[in-house]
Structure 1
Amino acid sequence: MKIAFFSDIHANLHAFKAMLEDLDSQKPDTAYCLGDLVGYHIYPNEVVGEIRKRGIATLKGNHDEKVDSIDSTPESLNEKGENYAYHLISEDNRGYLKKLPALINTEFTFVEATFKIALAHGSTRRIDEYILIDTDENYVLELLDEADADILIVGHSHKPYHRIIQTVQGVFKHVINLGSVGKPKDGDLRGCYALLTIDNNSSLLLRNSINVEFRRISYDLEASAKAIEESPLPAEFALALRSGR
């Protein structure tokens, strides 16, 4: 079974379209979005609309949650223009974002094994918590135990990795950070998403039997950056796209 996971689009429609084109070419069995559909860019409605049209199971990210605290009146637009990204969101899409869940737990069963997967934007404890590649191993195992999960998949940091932790029982647990579709921060300007492959040959007792492929996707970055610069959003948002930081 091939499962696609992506996160942190941040209303970057140019990157999102390129990612979806690649995702469709890979023909995954299913797909999940781990949140932060909006913020930092001018295309929140187009991104949310495509997610909704495709019926992709989606989590609420911290920027999606922010919609609750920022109204769409002109009076709430702050001086720097940062909130403009949220003013663009239609009332219907605001309602959709507000109803998104904070966590998704799912599992996939094969002939001899069941794989329990926990999905969270930041962590299973907080929507805005960073689970990094060097986060304390015991703490990460605590999160996995609390979630009753073998695989923890997160976003939020915009830095992709696949970390494998062996427990004292000899079981291998997996932590996957998806990076970011629309606002990478790992120095690579390309968008990123992940394909997880598990099948009858996969086992939690074999270190490398669960395959994670990070797909890096080129897109028209300059067109995306210029769209920001021609809007009321701060110019540093465009600079961030061009620097990958």
Structure 2
Amino acid sequence: MKWAVLSDIHGNLEAFNAVLDCLSKEGIDRVAFLGDIVGYGANPNECIDLLKDIADIIVAGNHDYGSVGLTDTSNFNPVARAAIEWTAKELSTINRNFLLGFHLFSIRDDITFVHSTPYNPQNWDYLFYHDDLTMNFDSFQTRICFIGHSHVPVVFKKDKKGKTSSSKALVVRQEEVSRYIINVGSVGQPRDGIPDAAFGIYDAKECVFTLKRFPYDIGTAQKKIIKAGLPERLAARIAVGR
């Protein structure tokens, strides 16, 4: 079974289409989406419509819930909040109802899928290199957990002795006695200094995860953001991956 694991598309249709083109050549069996199909980008409805066609598993992100009133956005930064408010007005009724049906996590085939953290998904916490990982590994029972939210790819491992570590490995071959939390990065707004769309492919049979990067038409995505009246910073940042 080969999974494509995508996260944080954020209304970036150009990035999403580029990734779909890549996936068509990868022999993918199932697609999991880890949340935030909307927010920041100028094509929320179009991205939702594409997601409906391809995803086998979908979990909610904070921007998905924020745009339909299911999470408090008062603590969002002003740019993110402006994008949420714009998105809420743009959503079709059908797509609004679609977002309302998202759940916070999903478990399938010894894999946990969640947007933020397995420990407290509804708090939308971030998981970074320096964090204490113990409580998060204790919060799920599967061998592997895929996350998004930070837009920064990273692999966290807990070995047979209980020692935790992190790395930026592009290819991970699972050790039989180890467990993993893997952030697949962001399709639509990477923040690791690389503007190419990021996503993961997990071969469950071979127990191998591969982080993929794929270029897309950033210029067109930027023009759409500006034309929509969204904050200009949202257009600028996708060109630098920050």
Name which of 123, 131, 136 aligns with 2:117. 123
Deviation, 1:123, is 1.3
Q: How many Å separate the matches in 2 of 1:224 and 1:90?
A: 21
Deviation, 1:68, is 2.5
Letter in 2 for 1:101: H
Alignment of 1:213 with 2:210, yes or no, is: yes
Q: How many Å separate the matches in 1 of 2:177 and 2:82?
A: 49
Helix, strand or coil: the match of 1:164? Answer: strand
Deviation, 1:142, is 1.7
The C-alpha deviation readout for 1:66-86, integer Å capped at 9, x for no partner, is 12329xxxxxxx999532133
Deviation, 1:43, is 0.4
The residue number in structure 1 matching 2:47 is: 47
Deviation, 1:14, is 0.4
The C-alpha deviation readout for 1:74-133, integer Å capped at 9, x for no partner, is xxxx999532133111111000001011110111xxxxxxxx211100012224111223
Helix, strand or coil: the match of 1:105? Answer: strand
The C-alpha deviation readout for 1:29-50, integer Å capped at 9, x for no partner, is 1110111000111101100001
Instruction: Report the structure number with the largest CA radius of gyration.
Output: 1
Q: How many Å separate the matches in 2 of 1:38 and 1:161?
A: 22
The residue number in structure 2 matching 1:164 is: 157
Q: How many Å separate the matches in 2 of 1:177 and 1:134?
A: 14
Q: How many Å separate the matches in 2 of 1:161 and 1:211?
A: 15
Name which of 133, 136, 149 aligns with 2:132. 136
The C-alpha deviation readout for 1:202-234, integer Å capped at 9, x for no partner, is 5xxxxxxx3111110100001111111122111
Q: How many Å separate the matches in 1 of 2:132 and 2:40?
A: 30
Aligned-residue CA RMSD (Å): 2.0
Q: How many Å separate the matches in 2 of 1:61 and 1:137?
A: 21
8 Å contact kept, 1:7–1:34:
yes
Helix, strand or coil: the match of 1:26? Answer: coil
> TM-score by structure 2 length?
0.84
Percent of matched pairs sharing the same residue: 28
The C-alpha deviation readout for 1:143-196, integer Å capped at 9, x for no partner, is 2xxx22111110000001222220337920011101000000000000000001
Gaps in structure 1 of 5+ consecutive residues: 71-77, 108-115, 203-209
